[in-house]
Amino acid sequence: RDSHKVAESLAAGDEKPDFQVWLPDSELWLERAKGFGEGIPVSPSDSVASSPVALAMVPSASRKLGWPEKTYSWAELVAALGSDRVRLGAADPARSATGLLALVGIGASSARQGGDSDTRVAR
Q: What digits encode the pLDDT tens for the residues 63-110? A: 888 989 998 888 888 788 777 777 777 788 888 888 888 888 878 777
Contact (Cβ atoms closer than 8 angstroms) between residue 3 and residue 97: yes
Is there a single domain that holds both residue 81 and residue 47?
no
Better-predicted residue by pLDDT, 90 or 2? 2
- Considering only CA atoms, which of 66, 67, 72 is closest in space to residue 109? 72
- Residues of the chain with pLDDT > 90, as a percent, come to 1
Is there a single domain that holds both residue 73 and residue 47?
no
Is there a single domain that holds both residue 63 and residue 29?
no
Count of domains forming the chain: 2
Global pTM? 0.48
Cα separation, 33 vs 122, whole angstroms: 26
Contact (Cβ atoms closer than 8 angstroms) between residue 12 and residue 36: yes
Contact (Cβ atoms closer than 8 angstroms) between residue 21 and residue 47: no
Is there a single domain that holds both residue 65 and residue 40?
no
Helices and strands (DSSP H and E) totals, the chain = 6, 0
Is there a single domain that holds both residue 36 and residue 85?
no
Average pLDDT, the chain: 79
Is there a single domain that holds both residue 46 and residue 90?
no
Cis omega (within 30 of 0) for bond into 68:
yes
- Residue 120 pLDDT > 70, yes or no? no
Is there a single domain that holds both residue 65 and residue 42?
no
Domain with 42, as residue range(s), is 1-51
Is there a single domain that holds both residue 66 and residue 102?
yes
Is there a single domain that holds both residue 115 and residue 67?
yes
- Considering only CA atoms, which of 21, 18, 19, 24 is closest in space to residue 5? 24
